[in-house]
A and B are shown apart, each in its own frame.
Chain A
């Protein structure tokens, strides 16, 4: 078992006001699953991801990661969990602008047990995995958006995390690049990587094997992708539109 959360609540205090971002979420994610988390804007997706990534701690509830109760941990222990167990991919990449791709990917290893040579070797391997072996000396501003996100993914993978978390990884990318990144995720999953990914695009969620839907901080549906009603409707719609497009493309009078 990889992720087990129980009755997770997160309440933000903004002045006098209290925002209930998560209202009792239960979720179990097994090793080598590929889960898409979907929901409208403000439904609590990012909040959930931040808790899963140990970047934020829940107000109430339990979060057990690989058998360890993270909701009981202090800042230093959580940092160690982030370093060793979790790879996080952000929507806005979050690369260090003045560092090369290689240096960026090496960043998590600075805080782990590897010496510089080992770290360098691992970082190179991670960049190879995401198809950027020939770009290791480039700085972020010398890379395209898709390449930047690949660097960020390589950084997330470099310390062989047990889960890869991605919060709208394609949110800042165009359609073609989005497909490339999705293809990369599919490939990583095929190699055995557990992935949890937030998206609001059904097309992106299609790569996942399971879709969890949130609304107002609560899980409203949790199905394998093939059996998710909303996704099925999306697929039907897409097929119909493709057929229509194909129909229109036929020469007039063929009917």
Chain B
């Protein structure tokens, strides 16, 4: 036993070199044999790297939204779907006032009333421009810079002034001056004075990667412009990012009270924080990883059967050699080890090729136009896992051929033709 342990390291090194030599001598055969492992490893690396890149993009998008933001909207619960209409559950100004007043964790909020309007300036007309009614608090909550001019203020809201903020994209599309303040545009045949320009933001993940022309008007103005419209949702801002649980509880309590929902009646609204979106994404990413893991499992199984087959061929081709090795003193355990090491080496070479191929695929993924996966990278754990699984495949599927070799009778093996 001690003897076996003593010669294992030396024998392993020798066997690894021997195996590498054989793999090199039979390049094509080895490649085909380990194809399952190569494909399995390459695909898990590519999938995990893509997900890592996607996660990085998504998280930074979420960060753009802001960690303190709370999303509130009206929603028809499943149970009441036949009895009430989505119009019945839309947020009202009274409800939002109550939330603002009675929720200590909420610092400020803004309703968001979204419409598609035709915008005209001079002879140019744009249809379906996204026009959003907001409170002045929107500036603090969204944090979008006002590049030129001024933000909205309380007076704009109180007096329902016909003023608007536009983004750079709209300036471009409507052919306005570089500094359009004091210029006017017509929205639904009303004339609005541009008071400021807000920066354009692009949402790569949820949008097309392109930015849209946007117009913002005071909420009160929007309600007058669109008397039958409704508040689509509201953004609230917590005082601190760690108050998510409190904020959700407080808003829910206030909303239920205002809406007179009692006992087991389900919420007719929804309160969400960014963390929930992140959790949701992580769940999806986890499911995709698990799915990819399944595919990889199957290809490793196929690869393993290939390995077993080639090792059985190797054992039968080298029966005389095995007989000789036994005749000069190789114990069964040593022969077993030798063939296991050979199988593992083969698998590890396949795994290494798979990792290299996977990294190439990652380079490709990074450069897929419009996919925003520039941060795709195979994390260390997936590489370690790939190496581990390759080695495990070698051990599991190399065991039977290795046992066969170890059990050969030296005399019979030497007589083998």
Does B331 lie at the interface of the complex (its beta carbon under 8 Å from any beta carbon of A)?
A: yes
The answer for the CA separation of A90 and B395 in the assembled complex, in Å, is 34
User: Which one, A56, A96, A159, contacts B324 given CB within 8 A?
Assistant: A96
A88 close to chain B: CB less than 8 A: yes
A55 to B410, CA, bound (A): 6
Q: Mark B48-92, 1 if CB is under 8 A from A, else 0.
A: 000000000000000000000000000000000000000000000
State the interface size on chain A (CB cutoff 8 A). Answer: 25
Contact of B328 among A75, A113, A116, A155 (CB under 8 A): A155
Q: Are A76 and B411 in contact (CB under 8 A)?
A: no
Among A104-112, A128-136, A185-193, A239-247, the stretch in contact with B: A104-112
B-contacting residues, A96-141, CB 8 Å: 96, 107-108, 110-113, 115-116
B414 close to chain A: CB less than 8 A: yes
**Closest chain B residue to A46, Cβ basis:** B411
Is the beta-carbon distance between A112 and B329 smaller than 8 angstroms?
yes
Given the complex, which residues of B lie within 8 Å of A55, measured CB to CB? 327, 410-411, 414
B326 within 8 A of A: yes
Q: Are B329 and A79 in contact (CB under 8 A)?
A: yes
Is A110 a contact partner of B14 (Cβ separation < 8 A)?
Answer: yes
Q: Mark B297-318, 1 if CB is under 8 A from A, else 0.
A: 0000000000000000000000
Residues of B within 8 A of A26 (CB): none
Q: Is the interface of B mostly helix, strand, loop or mixed?
A: helix
Instruction: Determine if A116 and B329 form an interchain contact, defined as CB atoms under 8 angstroms apart.
Output: no
Q: How far is the CA of A177 from the CA of B71 in the complex (A)?
A: 97
Interface assignment of A83: CB less than 8 Å from any CB of chain B: yes
Whether, in the assembled complex, A202 has its beta carbon less than 8 Å from a beta carbon of chain B, the answer is: no
| A-contacting 9-mer, from B4-12, B128-136, B219-227, B396-404 | B4-12
Q: Is B330 an interface residue when CB atoms closer than 8 A count as contact?
A: yes
Q: Are A82 and B321 in contact (CB-based, < 8 A)?
A: no
List the A residue with the shortest CB-CB distance to B25: A98
The reply on A180 being an interface residue by CB < 8 A is: no
Whether, in the assembled complex, A84 has its beta carbon less than 8 Å from a beta carbon of chain B, the answer is yes
Q: For residue A31, which residues in chain B have a CB less than 8 angstroms away from its CB? A: none
CB distance from A24 to the nearest CB of B (A): 21
B329 touching A80 by the CB < 8 A rule? yes
Return chain B residues, CB-CB under 8 Å to A115: 10
B325 in contact (CB, < 8 A):
yes
Let me know if B324 and A94 touch, CB within 8 A. Answer: yes
**Set of chain A residues within 8 Å of B7, measured between Cβ atoms:** 110-113
Given known A-B contacts A79-B329, A111-B329, A50 and B320 have beta carbons under 8 A apart? no
Task: Knowing A96-B321, A110-B11, A113-B7, say if A80 contacts B331 (CB, 8 Å).
Answer: yes
Q: Are A76 and B414 in contact (CB under 8 A)?
A: no
Closest to B329 in A: A83
| A119-172 with Cβ < 8 A to chain B | 155, 159
Contact A76-B331, Cβ < 8 Å, known A50-B411, A55-B410: yes
- Is B331 a contact partner of A107 (Cβ separation < 8 A)? no
Min distance, Cβ B285 to any Cβ of chain A, angstroms: 50
The residues of B that contact A80 with a CB separation of less than 8 Å are 3, 329, 331
Query: In the bound complex, do residue B324 and residue A79 qualify as a contact, i.e. CB atoms below 8 Å apart?
Result: no
Indicate if the CB atoms of B328 and A111 lie closer than 8 Å: yes
Measured between alpha carbons, how far is A74 from B330 in the docked complex, in Å?
13
Report B166 CB to chain A, min CB distance, Å: 79
Task: Enumerate chain B residues within 8 angstroms of A82, measured Cβ to Cβ.
Answer: 326-329
Q: Which residues of A contact B325 (CB under 8 A)?
A: 107, 111
The answer to whether A108 and B329 touch (CB under 8 A), given A55-B410, A113-B6, A113-B7, is yes
In the bound complex, residues from chain A placing their C-beta under 8 Å from that of B99 are none
Question: Which partner residue on chain A sits nearest B318 by CB separation?
Answer: A96
Interface residues of B in 316-349 (CB under 8 A from A): 320-321, 324-334
Contacts of A155 in B (CB 8 A): 328
Which of B14, B326, B327 has the most chain A CB atoms closer than 10 A to its own CB?
A: B327
Rounded to whole Å, the gap between the CB of A21 and the closest CB of chain B is 12
Of A80, A83, A111, most buried by chain B (CB within 10 Å of CB) is A111
Evaluate whether A113 and B3 lie within 8 angstroms (CB atoms) in the complex, with A76-B331, A76-B332 already known.
Answer: yes
Q: How far is the CB of B416 from chain A (nearest CB, A)?
A: 12
Complexed CA–CA distance, A84 and B326 (Å): 13
- Report which A residues bind B (CB closer than 8 A): 50, 53, 55-56, 75-76, 79-80, 82-84, 88, 90, 94, 96, 107-108, 110-113, 115-116, 155, 159
Residue contacts A-B, CB under 8 angstroms, 15 given? A82-B327, A82-B329, A83-B329, A94-B320, A94-B327, A110-B10, A111-B7, A111-B11, A111-B328, A111-B329, A111-B330, A112-B329, A116-B10, A155-B328, A159-B329
Known: A79-B330, A113-B6. 17 other contacts (CB 8 A): A50-B411, A56-B411, A75-B332, A79-B331, A79-B332, A79-B334, A82-B326, A84-B329, A88-B328, A94-B327, A96-B324, A110-B14, A111-B329, A112-B329, A113-B3, A155-B328, A159-B329
